[in-house]
Amino acid sequence: MQWETVIGLEVHVQLATKTKIFSGASTAFGAEPNTQACAVDLALPGTLPVANEQAFRFATMFGLAVNAEIGKRSVFERKNYFYPDLPKGYQTTQLAEPIVGAGFVDLELEGGRTKRVRIHHAHLEEDAGKSLHEDFAGMSGIDLNRAGTPLIEVVTEPDMRSAEEAVAFAKKLHSIVTSLEICDGEMSQGSMRFDVNISVRPKGQEKLGTRTETKNLNSFKFMEEAIALEVERQIDVLEDGGKIKQETRLYNGDTKKARSMRSKEDSNDYRYFPCPDLLPVIIDDEYIESVRKQMPELPEAKRARFVEQYGLSDYDAGQITMDKFAAAYFEAATKISGEAKLTANWIMADLGAYLNRTEQRIDQSPVTPELLSGLVVRIKDGTLSSKIAKQVFEAITNGEGDADTIIETKGLKQVSDTGALEKIIDDILAANVAQVEGYRAAAEDKRAKMLGFFVGQAMKASKGQANPQALNELLLKKLNS
């Protein structure tokens, strides 16, 4: 039987406010446990929450960015459940009247395919605390610094059909919220967490299968792995005659295994009721328009501009504008080098590989836009061959200076002098008489492949510094004479 995967996402996006959603406690990351939770966060008797206007502004920005309706009247509810890191016994959230209504995000997938993922809604809510297990043998510790941190929870329709589409959506969402600067996007710090609802059904069937929810995935790689594992598990269960149990699951990225966490609750299990301490929040068109005017350039608009202004391909522009730091880096470097395409290639290839290897963001890289543009200029003016440029780039990452300093110190300037190149070529041809005769006796269509031997020998003799174009031209001239 052929099976179809159905995926919907719930994404928790931590808003970049300085204080919590209902109190003045700090949201700064990395503080000592339980130093940033005040009486309001703990719901101590006599305290009352006060809504943070910045959280509403950020949520409105998000809604406008994903083509959504903005809720002019939104209401907070209490979602009741017991968990050790939720000291109030309820989470203040939105259910019936959220701040962001239905919207959509368009994805560009491999092969030029596009996909629209509908957003059901996005609501404001507070985060819970954090349970700590590693440092407490046989016990658990509780850190309430996160309690009350503002989140928007983005809920999609079950529109995705593969891990590829789910990851593409997650990356697009990450790009949007970081470009808006409403979230720092640091997934390792819990700033974005993905809950993935997965079900399978026989291909062609309209009725959805029973879904499971894999919670708290904090990397794109883990999301891809968790989806593949769960889809395989569900298909195995169904093909063995079993039934899928509606449940919440956890995926361990270290062991590559998942386990059942608890049975999945329905909304009725949480006994939602309006929060008596918070009035409905009313916003008007004037407020929404004031927010719209403050919106920064979004990734899609930036991509279109990069195509038009810099002549990049749609793919290259899309790759670079996915990360706001990469986009800013590209513009800064291109302004100096005046060479957009070559700069983009180095950002996506060599610099990208270096950043992945060293686990750095581009704005943290020791290879500044000024250093990269200096390298690009020397490739453009013929001082460096592509091969030697990689050597210079490596030296830049090692802190050995800018491109000009490294070229001078290491004597890496590309050899374009005709006399010097002819001397190298004459020596190669004299040392390889049989190969020369073979080349001259060969058919025209075989000569191109045979030429590679002489190019390789000459490049080796020049220690990679020969100008490839000039070398090829001179070689052909001498071999065909």
Among candidates 387, 388, 406, which has minimal Cα distance to 396? 406
Binned at pLDDT 50, 70 and 90, residue 449 comes out as confident
The confidence score (pLDDT) of residue 165 equals 97
Give Rg (Cα) of the chain.
29
Q: Residue 262 above 80 pLDDT?
A: no
Using DSSP's 3-state secondary structure scheme, residue 199 falls into strand
Using DSSP's 3-state secondary structure scheme, residue 105 falls into strand
Q: Starting at the edge strand that comes first in sequence, how are the strands of the sheet with 192-202 ordered?
A: 103-108, 114-126, 150-156, 3-14, 192-202, 212-217, 247-252, 257-263
Q: Residue 215 above 90 pLDDT?
A: yes
The confidence score (pLDDT) of residue 348 equals 96
The answer to whether the predicted template modeling score (pTM) of the entire model surpasses 0.75 is yes
Sequence-distant (≥ 6) Cβ neighbours of residue 1 within 8 angstroms: 202, 203, 239
Asked if residues 407 and 392 have their Cβ atoms less than 8 Å apart, the reply is: yes
Q: What is the pLDDT of residues 326-335, one digit of tens each?
A: 999 999 999 9
Query: What single string gives the DSSP state of each residue in 53-70?
Result: HHHHHHHHHHHHHTTPPB
The percentage of residues in the chain with a pLDDT greater than 90, rounded to a whole number, is 73
Binned at pLDDT 50, 70 and 90, residue 265 comes out as low
Q: Work out the angle between the directed axes of helices 418-431 and 433-441 (0-180°, nearest 10).
A: 90
Tally of CB atoms within 10 A around 127: 23
d(CA 24, CA 35): 13
Q: What is the pLDDT of residues 309-351, one digit of tens each?
A: 999 999 899 999 999 999 999 999 999 999 999 999 999 999 9
What is the token pair recorded at 279?
A: 């009035």
146 vs 478: which has the higher pLDDT: 146
Q: Residue 40 above 70 pLDDT?
A: yes
The percentage of residues in the chain with a pLDDT greater than 70, rounded to a whole number, is 99
Question: Lowest mean pLDDT: which of 174-178, 182-186, 437-441?
Answer: 437-441
In angstroms, what CA-CA distances link 198 with 129, 162, 261, 275, 481? Answer: 26, 10, 15, 31, 68
Tally of CB atoms within 10 A around 220: 17
What is the token pair recorded at 253?
A: 């990225």
Using DSSP's 3-state secondary structure scheme, residue 143 falls into strand
Among candidates 62, 55, 61, 43, which has minimal Cα distance to 18? 55
Q: Residue 475 above 70 pLDDT?
A: yes
d(CA 393, CA 406): 9
What's the whole-number mean pLDDT along residues 86-97? Answer: 94
What's the whole-number mean pLDDT along residues 166-192? Answer: 95
Q: Residue 264 above 70 pLDDT?
A: no
Query: Which letter, b or e, does each residue of 430-443 get, where b requires 16 or more Cβ atoms within 10 Å of its Cβ?
Result: eeeeebbeebeeee
The confidence score (pLDDT) of residue 444 equals 80
Binned at pLDDT 50, 70 and 90, residue 266 comes out as low
Among candidates 5, 470, 72, which has minimal Cα distance to 224? 5
**DSSP label at 32?**
P
Among candidates 165, 167, 159, 259, which has minimal Cα distance to 221? 167
Binned at pLDDT 50, 70 and 90, residue 204 comes out as very high
The confidence score (pLDDT) of residue 84 equals 86
Q: What is the dihedral angle through the alpha carbons of 119, 125, 131, 134, rounded to the nearest 10 degrees? A: 50
Q: What is the pLDDT of residues 274-305, one digit of tens each?
A: 999 999 999 999 999 999 999 999 999 999 99
Asked if residues 372 and 384 have their Cβ atoms less than 8 Å apart, the reply is: no
Asked if residues 318 and 303 have their Cβ atoms less than 8 Å apart, the reply is: yes
Q: What is the pLDDT of residues 378-424, one digit of tens each?
A: 999 888 888 889 999 999 999 999 999 999 888 888 777 888 888 88
